[in-house]
Structure formats: C-alpha cells, structure tokens
Amino acid sequence: MLLKDRVVLVTGAATGIGEAIAGLFAAEGAHVHMFDRDEAGCAAVASALRDAGYSAVSSGGDVRDAQRIADVARAAIERHGRIDALINNAGIFPRRAFLEMSAAEWDEMHDVNLKSMFHTSQAVLPQMVRQQSGKIVNLSSVTFHLGVPGLTHYVSSKGGVIGLTRSLAREMGPHNIHVNCVTPGAIHTKSEKNFVSPEQVQAFVDSQSLQRRITPLDVARVCLFLSCELSDGMTGQILNVDGGWAMH
C-alpha cells in the first residue's frame, strides 16, 4: 500500500494511461480524484473502482478551464484536508504537417498539453506549500528526445512540459515538493489505431530494445514510484518508459 490514504488528482483518467494510473493508485490505497472531458467514461471507471472496494471520485471538464480545475482541486482538499499528488496526464495527439498547420491547431495543442499543467499546478500547489509536501508527475513524451515529423506542435508542447518540470522542481524544492516527468514511448492503447498503422506499430517495436509493446500499466508503475516515498530523493528528473527506444 504505497499510497495508503494519500489524496491524488489524475487528469485524463477515463482511458489509456490515465485510467491505468487511477486503477493502480487506488489499489495502492490512494483516494483518487479522476478528471476527464469524457465525463461518462470517467464516471464509469470510478464506479468500477468503487465496486472493487477502492476510493475513487470522478469529475468532468476541460483541462483548459482554469476555474473548473480549481473547483475540483478545492473539492478534494475540502473532502480530505490535503492533496498529496497531482498526475498531469491529459493530452491530445493529432498529426499535422507543419506547413499545413493552422495557428489555431498550434494553440489548441499547447493549451491542452502544456497550459493545462499551469492551471492544475497552480490549483494544487498552495495546499502543498501549506502542508510542506507533495508530488507532481507530468507526462511528456519520448518524441521530445527523438524529434518526429508531422508532430511539431505536439513535440513542442511536450518539450515545454519538460521545461516546466525542471523549473518548477527548483522553485518548489524548498517546500519539500517533488516535481518529476515521465516520457512514454509508443504505448499500446485502445485509441492508437486512430493515429498509427500496424506497420508503424511494428516499426516502433523494432526501434525498442525490449521487443514487446509497452502498456499503460508500465507507465502507471513509474508514476507510482514518482508519487510515493520510494522517490523522495528525486526531483526535476525525466524518466523514459519506452522499452529502451531513446536512451537519455
């Protein structure tokens, strides 16, 4: 029970990596507050966790809505008196050639993938500072280390996540608040068929040192490590979970 009675907020928790994080953290004893724009999907996951005997609450909304994020964080604090960890997982992944990209598409990518973390971090950090403890885990992407065509807006936003992680770790360290980052590789999710072909998936595996698909649970386990006492000596770090694709 690495997170027994810890209070955790997970964004993008209805599917994929976020769903795996919520489930694993709940099983490790956390009170999990789940947030996703897919309100029905998020509620279904939370309900299944409660049916299994775990503590889970769901909320719907857009991570670009600063007020909604603040309300969700406030509700968690009012319910439990504290907030111990924030997992910034929500993100989008549309492909677009750079010369075909509109300014609106660029802005949307950065608003969802990066600016949302500004909103969520500002919502939870005052309480973490008061209690002089906390863990923030930001989800970036291995694409930042690789550089990928057709994803310039995505890679740029994920690079910003790494910059945010490092600077926030410096600023919050004196308050015993840890800020770290995970860079997932090609993760086997239900939605990946909307983005890549079977041939591209095989190319991903061929590029890895580990010749198997990397799963949402693989990522969730590293997020668990960064959210519990096992990582108390770490902050400002970037951990790849990509099967040994990029070695950084």
SS3 134: strand
CA distances to 2, 23, 129, 138, 236 from 221, rounded to whole Å, are: 11, 11, 26, 14, 18
Strands 55-60 and 31-36: parallel
As a whole number of angstroms, the distance between CA 122 and CA 175 comes to: 15
- Active-site residue among 35, 154, 204, 245? 154
User: 177, 214 in Cβ contact below 8 A?
Assistant: no
Backbone angles phi, psi at 218, to 5 degrees: -55, -45
Work out whether the CA dihedral 217, 222, 223, 225 comes out positive or negative: positive
Residue 54 annotated as catalytic: no
Interaxial angle between packed helices 16-27 and 39-51, expressed in degrees from 0 to 180 and rounded to the nearest 10: 30
**Which active-site residues does the annotation give?**
154
